[in-house]
Every structure is written in structure tokens, then in C-alpha cells.
Structure 1
């Protein structure tokens, strides 16, 4: 996964009860609100998943909103992001097993599909605890760690996440 540090502009809205004449509590309120906003936004197509706000670079002059009395502060900040890339080797955990493939989770990504067609030598074994098994008795079952390659990815705006298609075709890929 590619980690990047990006600088972003943002508008932070602070309610009147968080305002303080000394300024220190205001600065803290702005940072806390910014971190909360970024956590709720989760990800973007351009930057990937937001991992951490690192620095508050600039803090503009606050403008009072007439209807609510809230104060809007324009800010710029630096943020660590992580974005998956096609061809990248990642490690994930088996979350759900279906007859046609496996859903994996890896870090903030929860929509990774490993199709039965891209799992060389693995065959589906149904039952109470379904799994995929290969000739060397390697198992892909719930909570198994799997090294996989990103075959393709797609941004889903409604879910605010990437949908990833994975493969086990390649050297040293499969259960760990």
C-alpha cells in the first residue's frame, strides 16, 4: 500500500460553546473537529484512505454563520493517506467464504474479492466451515492470513471506499 502525506484545505465549523477567549481551547477544538471530520469522510478517490492528521499548517480567520452562530475556520493541514495500487502485493484476512470466491479485509479495506477463478489449484470444500483447499493441503478458511496481488480496483463513491479484485496468481502468494 502506498503511503502519502498530502496537504489539504478544509473548512472547520465550531459551535459557540467551544469558543474561548484564551485561544488554546479554540485551537484544540479546531483540531478535534478536523480529526472527527476526516474520520467520518474515511477516504477519497484522489488520496485513498485517510490514516492520520499530522499537522495543522494554516488557520484562517473565523467567519460567524448568521443563522446558527457557529464559526467557520478555513484551515490547511497535512494528512497521511494510504491508497491501494494495481499490481501491489498485500496481506489480508479471510472474512467470508462463498462458493465462487472469498472476501478479504486488509487494513481499512473491507471489500476485497478473491475469485475462485484466480485461485490456482484451490478447490471449494463446503460444509459447516467452508474453505478452499489445494493439493499441498494449504487451507483458506475464515481468519486465515492471505498474501494476494491487486488485480484491479474501483472507487465506490456511495460507500466511500475502493472495491478490489485480488488474485493468487504469482510467486509466494496464498495462505501465510
Structure 2
């Protein structure tokens, strides 16, 4: 339970000072400055799913405070989930998928200019990130003359070039496909097992792209 008696007051600020303060205490800045203090580890045997423990700043409107702190805790969790979803992804940890546990809630600080209260929290969550050399499954969502685009989890732009599909040839038509001599097909909505050659982080879009290959044992369409 959150002890409201421990909430401190922050001196009144002008709009410009308040905006500057928010920027300095943003979740992104806190995340990168304190990342080394927290664990990042695998979940089960899947390397692409990471269990992370991170600091976060949650701002709660004054009307969501109550004497017993029960409504406040709920408000903190709801706001944290909302902030987490909007964050989408980071270069270091990949795509944010879920908050699993709220580990701790720090001392609240009142922002007198708005009456809101800022709470530093620490939580555990799950993220998704693929790595070079991993073998994964993806679903074909677009067939092009020189390759196909697949999706794997939240990653939409995974490119498999025809140069990395040994023995496959492109067959044009209303529903284009790649075929090999064993009549194995790579077409839209087919699940394909591939190996990751490399990834690229796009800062503006806050998403990853990946290049993959079928060169290796047991790679290709999954029946």
C-alpha cells in the first residue's frame, strides 16, 4: 500500500520550467541512465523473449489519490500499462510486450503547478527481440519478385531474399509463389523457418527490420 503521508511537495514552476523538468525526468532518460542497475535475462529457453526489470516514472492526477492508497495503486498500474504500451520498443531491449510485476513504488512528489503526483516505480516485464543466428518461424505476408516479407511476433519487416532461398524459383501470377524441385511452396500465409542474418533498428519508426536466410539444415516452409 502506498503511504500518502510520504508524498513530498515540488516547488511551483512556470510552464517552461515544468516542461523542462518533465523532459529531464522522462522515462526514456531514466531507462538509459539506470539500465545497468537492472537485470535482463532470458525467459525459459527462448532467447527472443527477454525478462527485464526497469525504472519508470508514473504521473498520477490528484483526483486519483485517496486516503487508503488502494485506488492510487490501481491508478499507478493502469498508467504504467498505458505508458508501457505507448513506448512500443527500444533499440536495446526490443518490443515491449507485457508488464508482469510491479516490484516497488517510490516516494511520491507533488508537482504543485498541476497538483499531479510523480511516483518512481520499478517493474518487471517481457520484451521481444531477435538476434543474429537465431532460428525462428515467420509468416509470409507479401511475395515479391526478388524475395518475400515475413512477420514474426511484432516485427513486420523481415526480408527473405531470393538469393537466400537455395533451389527456389519465382513463379509469377495472381498469387505469386517461390517453388523448388520438391514442389515445396513459399507463398502468402505460409509459415517459414529461417535463420536471422542481421537486424536494423529504425529510430524514427521505433521498429526493427531483419534480413534472414534459408541456407542451413531444416529451414524452409513448415508443414
Match among 61, 67, 74 for residue 120 of structure 2 = 74
Which residue of 2 is the match for residue 19 of structure 1?
A: 65
Range with bigger deviation, 149-158 or 12-21:
12-21
Gaps of 5+ in 1: none
Partner of 1:107: 153
Q: Which TM-score applies when normalising by structure 1?
A: 0.94
Give the drift of 1:158: 1.3
Instruction: List, as ranges, runs of 4+ consecutive aligned residues in structure 1 with deviation greater than 4 Å.
Output: none
SS in 2 for 1:10: strand
1:22-101 equivalence runs, <5 A? 22-101=68-147
Residue-by-residue CA offset, 1:77-133 (whole Å, 9 max, x unaligned):
111222211010000100111111111001111110111111111111111111111
CA distance in 1, matches of 2:163, 2:93: 31
Q: Distance in 1 between matches of 2:143 and 2:60?
A: 45
Distance in 2 between the 1:62 and 1:101 partners? 53
CA–CA separation in structure 2 for the residues paired with 1:76 and 1:32: 14
| Higher helix residue share | 2
Return the match for 1:160 from 187, 192, 206.
206
Number of aligned positions between the proteins: 176
CA RMSD of aligned residues (A): 1.3
- d(CA) in 2 for partners of 1:18 and 1:131? 56
Structure whose alpha-carbon radius of gyration is higher: 2
Between the two structures, name the one with larger relative contact order (CA 8 Å, sep ≥ 6): 1
